[in-house]
Amino acid sequence: EAQVTQNPRYLITVTGKKLTVTCSQNMNHEYMSWYRQDPGLGLRQIYYSMNVEVTDKGDVPEGYKVSRKEKRNFPLILESPSPNQTSLYFCASREQVGDEQFFGPGTRLTVL
Amino acid sequence: SQQGEEDPQALSIQEGENATMNCSYKTSINNLQWYRQNSGRGLVHLILIRSNEREKHSGRLRVTLDTSKKSSSLLITASRAADTASYFCATDGSSNTGKLIFGQGTTLQVKP
């Protein structure tokens, strides 16, 4: 089944404790991205990747890092999480720019 | 910034009725996409309409696009209780970054 998977689905952590949210797609898509969803602010793009080893900042990249060492994986790294990063995070992929985007199930992160 | 603005913010109808949601945007686009999100879950792609298309159908869904007015509408015909969800429009701009800009969404409740 074609899908985007994320892990973990739920995470409660404390300020400053490094964490990684994994994202994997099995559709051989070149383009992947991360969004966060917050009440009243909607979905905002954090980072995106056009292809392996090619990443760039979205609208809200501060406090996040990403890597794209393999085509299928695009982890989101929070080196030192803070409470304002409490949010619902979505990974997404698409075959190329201009195509429909497939979203993962979401990761609900709470930073205490 | 959020380019897409959905209207209305909330809509409550009876099963069997039609539901119409509108989306307005500000800048030029390559395409516009509609997504559905069940409470707290991932986004499901519904339909993509390209900038050179005026209308598109998929099952009970009908999407129109008016690029001169920078607006789109999503019509769900013969609604069902299972259509209860939030609906988002997302614009795919011409910047080639692949970023989707989401509106705030319309929350649709379909009463049985």
Query: Which of B99, B104, B107 would you mutate first to test chain A, the one with the most A CBs within 10 A?
Result: B99
Predicted local confidence at residue B3, as pLDDT? 56
Residue numbers in A near B25 (CB within 8 A): none
Per-residue pLDDT of A9-42, as tens digits, reads 999 999 999 999 999 999 999 999 999 999 888 8
For residue B82, what pLDDT is reported? 95
User: Residue A56: pLDDT band by 50, 70, 90 thresholds?
Assistant: very high
The answer to whether the Cα torsion of A13, A14, A20, A23 is positive or negative is positive
Cβ distance B33 to A48 less than 8 Å, yes or no, reads no
Q: What is the DSSP string of chain B?
A: ----EEE-SEEEEETTS-EEEEEE-SS-EEEEEEEEE-TTS-EEEEEEEETT-SEEEETTEEEEEETTTTEEEEEE-S--GGG-EEEEEEEEESSSS--EEE---EEEEEE-
Q: What is the mean pLDDT of each run of 10 residues along chain B (112 residues)?
A: 72 96 91 91 93 96 96 97 95 77 92 94
A98/B92 Cβ within 8 A:
yes
CA distance, residue A16 to nearest chain B CA (Å)? 26
Amino acid symbol at A6: Q
Question: Average pLDDT for residues A82-99, to the nearest whole number?
Answer: 92
Confidence (pLDDT) at B6: 83
- Chain B CB contacts of A31 under 8 Å are 98
Measured between beta carbons, which residues in chain A are less than 8 angstroms from residue B92? Answer: 97-98
Asked if B98 and A105 come within 8 Å (Cβ–Cβ), the reply is: no
pLDDT confidence of residue B21 = 95
Q: Tokens at residue A83, please?
A: 């409470």
Nearest to B98 among A33, A41, A102 (CB): A33
- Tell which of B46, B88, B97 to mutate to test the A interface (max A CBs under 10 Å): B97
Per-residue confidence (pLDDT) for residue B1, from 0 to 100 = 38
Nearest CA in chain B to A88: B40
Confidence at A81, pLDDT banded by 50, 70, 90: very high
Q: Which residues of A touch B104 (CB under 8 A)?
A: 40, 42
